[in-house]
Amino acid sequence: MLENVTLIGGEPRARHIYLTEGSESESIAQWREFFGGKVQIFSKPDAIGAGLFGQTVTEDSADRMGDLIAIPNTDLILIDPARVKEESSMVGHHGGTTDIEVEIPLLLA
């Protein structure tokens, strides 16, 4: 799964995976097969089209995004193998799409 990965960015709950040129389709298929329904795997165009980054995405912003966006559906985290100690020692993680991560209470005075 990592043979075409050049860099892992983002956070353990919302990964940006940067791939070698031309490997996007193969890599996305591999990641989807491996994780099944536990992790949503998006290509960059699909993530932008789904509105994950808002209604308007500038070219500058799109240039910074990974070729593959991986967002767990459960309490799973995706640890960068190069940063296991640092990332697994965090007290909490955020950035996913579970209800607790997207439902924000509104307090009115």
Residue 19 near residue 67, CB atoms below 8 Å: yes
Residue 17 near residue 5, CB atoms below 8 Å: yes
Q: Tell me what the mean pLDDT of segment 55-66 comes to.
A: 95
d(CA 88, CA 25): 29
From the CA atom positions of the chain, what is the Rg in Å?
Answer: 15
pLDDT tens-digit readout, 77-106:
888 888 878 777 666 555 555 566 656 777
pLDDT tens-digit readout, 7-41:
999 988 899 999 999 999 999 999 999 999 999 99
Q: What is the DSSP letter of 37?
A: G
For the entire predicted model, the pTM comes to: 0.80
Q: What residue type is 100 in one-letter code?
A: I
pLDDT tens-digit readout, 50-59:
999 999 999 9
* Whether domain 5-91 has CATH 3.30.1360.180: yes
